[in-house]
Structure 1
Amino acid sequence: MNETGQLHGSCLCGGVAYRAQKPVGHASHCYCTMCQKQHGAAAGSYANVAAAGYVVERGADLITEYASSDHGRRGFCKICGSTLFWRSTQAPERIAITLGTLEPEYDGPVQRELHTDTKPAWLPLR
């Protein structure tokens, strides 16, 4: 994946579109139970980028946030429910955008697996 340029993404209904400036600090799969519940999947998959380079191009009024903990907020489209990002209140200079909302799909490496202690046993082996 090119380290310069931008990432582009949108929600399921197309109401929200965003762009994020590269480089990606790291990409991750988070297996915490909050990510599992929000995504309805084994993990939440994210690209960590600078918050200053994250721009909502369309549908800012459709984004709502949920404070899932005292240090984390999850942004999603209030129409279709697509998870768009996770951000830490302790590190406001960074934002983690969801890999599944990127167009074209993310082609960089996933360097981190977080909260592997709650990684579901039903996941297939690598």
Structure 2
Amino acid sequence: MEEQKLRGRCLCGLVAYEAAGPVSHASHCYCTMCQKQHGAAAGTYANVARAGFRFERGEEMVTEYASSEHGRRGFCRVCGSTLYWRSEQAPDRIALTLGTMEPEYDGPVERELHTDTKPKWLPVR
């Protein structure tokens, strides 16, 4: 079986990445930090092994923001696209934003995290 590859880029195209699958899980995170970072109801991520992640171009354009004691959020410093979230408590994993992937991620999103802060304005499923 061919190894799954995920690819993505930021809005301006200066940063591009690839990551080897498989995806451990994909999730919608409704924590207030993800809401602020994404300007949306949630951050949506695919969790993969960090060893299989690499920048194809533009690594020098990525800035990390320490949003908590252990959380780091990577984004393009030119266009602001959120590219990933990672935890220093799990250095072998990285969570890539689904909205940056090309082609579009077609796997399932199995988890919803921090549903206690899920916005009330979201439509009911």
Indicate whether the TM-score tops 0.5: yes
Where on the TM-score scale, by shorter chain, does this alignment land: which range?
A: over 0.9
Alignment of 1:13-52 (within 5 A): 13-52=12-51
How many aligned residue pairs are there? 125
Deviation at 1:4, TM superposition (A): 2.9
Distance change (3 Å), C-alpha of 1:88 and 1:3: farther
Cα distance in 2 for residues equivalent to 1:119 and 1:7: 28
Cα distance in 1 for residues equivalent to 2:10 and 2:28: 19
Check if 1:82 corresponds to 2:86: no
Aligned residues with identical type, % of pairs:
75
Native 8 Å contact 1:19 1:57 kept in 2: yes
Corresponding residue of 1:110: 109
Corresponding residue of 1:96: 95
Deviation at 1:5, TM superposition (A): 2.0
Deviation at 1:71, TM superposition (A): 1.1
Instruction: Provide Cα deviations, 1:73-125, integer angstroms capped at 9, x if missing partner.
Output: 00000000000000000000000000000001110000100000000000011
SS at 1:37 equivalent: helix
Query: How big is the alpha-carbon RMSD for the aligned residues of Structure 1 and Structure 2?
Result: 1.1
Unaligned runs of 5+ in 2: none
TM-score (norm 2): 0.98
Unaligned runs of 5+ in 1: none
Deviation at 1:3, TM superposition (A): 8.1
Native 8 Å contact 1:3 1:23 kept in 2: no
